[in-house]
Amino acid sequence: DADVTQTPRNRITKTGKRIMLECSQTKGHDRMYWYRQDPGLGLRLIYYSFDVKDINKGEISDGYSVSRQAQAKFSLSLESAIPNQTALYFCATSDGNRGLSNQPQHFGDGTRLSIL
């Protein structure tokens, strides 16, 4: 079983719809992240969370919101989806207890979101 699970894996929806992408992890990490990847580009950070009570905006948070329901769950919402939010979305986790360490972020398999 995957350590970081994203659902759904693929989603096609229409402009104006509310969308929720979910992420759950079994790694016991306290830090969780949401990124988006546009074709031919690297990942850009949308939101990150230290723990359930600590959520922070990343580089491109406009148009998105998040909820950290539990240590293991971090969901991303698009309140009113627009076509330029079509992208590949990744959830990631890391162990925040190790400071600046060599521990990588661990990624889910991604959610391909298409907004028509």
**Nearest approach, Cβ of residue 13 and another protein (Å):** 19
**Candidate residues 58, 67, 77, 114; the one interacting with another protein per rule CB under 8 A:** 58
Query: How many residues bind another protein, per CB under 8 A?
Result: 30
Question: Taking the alpha carbons of 85, 91, 95, 97 in that order, is the dihedral positive or negative?
Answer: positive
Binding to another protein by residue 1, rule CB under 8 A? no
Give the separation between CA 84 and CA 61, rounded to whole angstroms.
14
Q: In the range 70-89, which residues lie near another protein by CB under 8 A?
A: 88
Q: Candidates 15-23, 60-68, 74-82, 100-108 — which segment interacts with another protein by CB under 8 A?
A: 100-108
| Contact residues: another protein, CB under 8 A | 31, 33, 40-45, 48-50, 56, 58, 88, 90, 92, 94, 96, 99-102, 104-110, 112
